[in-house]
Amino acid sequence: MKLTKILLAGCVAMSFGIAHAAEDAPADHKQWMKDLGSAMGQIRKGVDVEQNAAKMVAVMPEVKAFWAKRTSDVAVKTCDDSANGAKQAAAAAKAGDQPGVTAGMKLVGAGCKGCHDVHREKISDTEYKIK
């Protein structure tokens, strides 16, 4: 009886670990993250800020739909936050308002960080998985 309980507890623990193990991101997700990272890098350099912020706005619905299917309220909210920040940055860039661009990009960065803190697991210096 005692051995049965121990085995059952072990099986439950193992299945929980397997269910929550990190996984490789699908190719689409990897590309979206690369596109967003590239746009963010260009904005930080001051290169085509309005255009790169608009690219971020265009990609975020894809990312949001991916996470909505996984029922992650955190990721869905952070996608909205990031998209709103990118919209703000694009509008500010168009108006020549650098403080507005900075404020919008802070929202983008906070949104990205919020999702990464919950759903990104660092495997090596160059590789991440979804958790």
Residue ranges per structural domain of the chain: 24-130
pLDDT in tens, the chain (131 residues): 554 444 444 444 444 444 446 788 889 999 999 999 999 999 999 999 999 999 999 999 999 999 999 989 999 999 999 999 999 999 999 999 999 999 999 999 999 999 999 999 988 888 888 98
Q: Domain 24-130 is of which CATH architecture?
A: Up-down Bundle (1.20)
Cα(89)–Cα(18) distance, integer angstroms: 40
Strand partners, 130: 23, 120
- Quote the pTM value: 0.79
Yes or no: say if 30 and 130 are a contact pair by the CB < 8 Å rule: no
- 78's enclosing H/E stretch is helix 73-94
Tell me how crowded residue 75 is: count the other CB atoms within 10 A of its CB: 22
Q: Is 128 helix (H, G, I), strand (E, B) or coil?
A: strand
